[in-house]
Structure 1
């Protein structure tokens, strides 16, 4: 059982795409998943409406209610909870990070996007949470570019997830059809990327949860 906050102060980073596909990967793995949509634009909620009741479930929430909705979802059996946050919303981001076991910061590997995540990184560090930057919407193979971007992010005092979500048309086509990439193109590269990222997030959320339990016992 874990809660993942998807946070970035930069618009267009792919937060909603990451949130709905990670939740779908959890469902495909046999876990009940929930997306909490805190964005006033309600993109995830609109996508859910297009699906006409198919999982993962998406509910909306005002920032002050995030913690209560996470607890209610856990009580009702949700195993994976993904919180989708809007850009430039400090309150929603703060509340999401506070309740998260793991924070993912999606970021395009461009100079402007990399510079813009400093505020988000500072928030994650201030709240003492485990955060990782996930590269999104970049080229599938550009090792030098990713090495340079990783070095810059590491200088901010945060780590980079080893799994990249490349710029693939499948993400756009799937969302427009009210689907996930796992459904739209199950044997495609986008589906493989999401599956790999989901496995990785489960492992890191488990490590964090175990560490918290150990601290409580001590």
Structure 2
């Protein structure tokens, strides 16, 4: 399965989500996983380099592929070798984003609970998704979830959720990832929140719920 974590807006927590989804499948589900860093900033790759430097096991295979054409040719081949290929896509509309949508089975879209993020989501990512489905014949399932959420829902959060629930082209899932410090600390070292000590059970539950509601959903 090819899983793309993408948005046309930067700063939505894509890398955090991509890392935690890939590592959950690797560490908790014992699956064969490859993480593709398709963002020119290279944050996912740097995180896993830190994991490798500290000799953390199991190892997570990582590939850096930022060119759209290479994504179209190389990622399907990786998909033949691995149970899951997770693509961390940069936060803007690029050839890499379009290519990732063209070949993925599941699209995960993190959305921060702010008006600006919602506007960018409404005007940009939905248009890109529509083009991928109509022009490239893409068949992926698209899920949107709240990222960097407040640990306690605000009035604005509820309004954002209400709007996302109303979409008919993208499925909203209530599996939010909050702005807990543990996500940043885990990402700095290329670790799953399940590997952090002491373990933050609430953060672990958020990641588990996200994967179960999207990647592993029947």
**Shorter-chain TM-score tier:** 0.7 to 0.9
1:193 aligns with 2:206: yes
- Quote the residue 2:43 is aligned against: 43
Distance (whole Å) between structure 1 residues aligned to residue 200 and residue 151 of structure 2 = 17
Q: Deviation of residue 156 (structure 1)?
A: 5.1
- Quote the residue 1:181 is aligned against: 193
- Quote the residue 1:30 is aligned against: 30
Tell me how large the CA RMSD over aligned residues is: 1.8
Deviation per residue, 1:108-167 (Å, 9 max, x gap): 101111111121122113323421111011112316433311232345543311211011
Distance (whole Å) between structure 1 residues aligned to residue 209 and residue 90 of structure 2 = 25
Structure 2: which 5+ runs fail to align?
A: 134-139
Match of 1:72 among 69, 77, 102: 77
Hey, which of these two has a bigger chunk of helix by percent?
Answer: 1
Question: Contact (CA 8 Å) 1:124, 1:130: kept in 2 or not?
Answer: no
Distance (whole Å) between structure 2 residues aligned to residue 187 and residue 112 of structure 1 = 30
Question: Contact (CA 8 Å) 2:48, 2:189: kept in 1 or not?
Answer: no
Worse-matched range after superposition: 80-89 or 145-154: 145-154
- Quote the residue 1:5 is aligned against: 4
**Alpha carbons of structure 1 residues 159 and 202: separation in structure 2 relative to 1, 3 Å:** closer
- Quote the residue 1:212 is aligned against: none
Question: Contact (CA 8 Å) 2:143, 2:214: kept in 1 or not?
Answer: no
* Structure 1 length-normalised TM: 0.85
Q: Deviation of residue 74 (structure 1)?
A: 2.2
Structure 1: which 5+ runs fail to align?
A: 208-218
* Structure 2 length-normalised TM: 0.85
Distance (whole Å) between structure 1 residues aligned to residue 127 and residue 165 of structure 2 = 13
Distance (whole Å) between structure 1 residues aligned to residue 173 and residue 12 of structure 2 = 15
State how 1:136-215 maps to structure 2 within 5 Å. Answer: 136-142=147-153, 144-155=155-166, 157=168, 158-185=170-197, 186-204=199-217, 207=218
Question: Contact (CA 8 Å) 1:121, 1:156: kept in 2 or not?
Answer: no
Name the count of aligned residue pairs.
Answer: 203
Distance (whole Å) between structure 1 residues aligned to residue 200 and residue 184 of structure 2 = 16
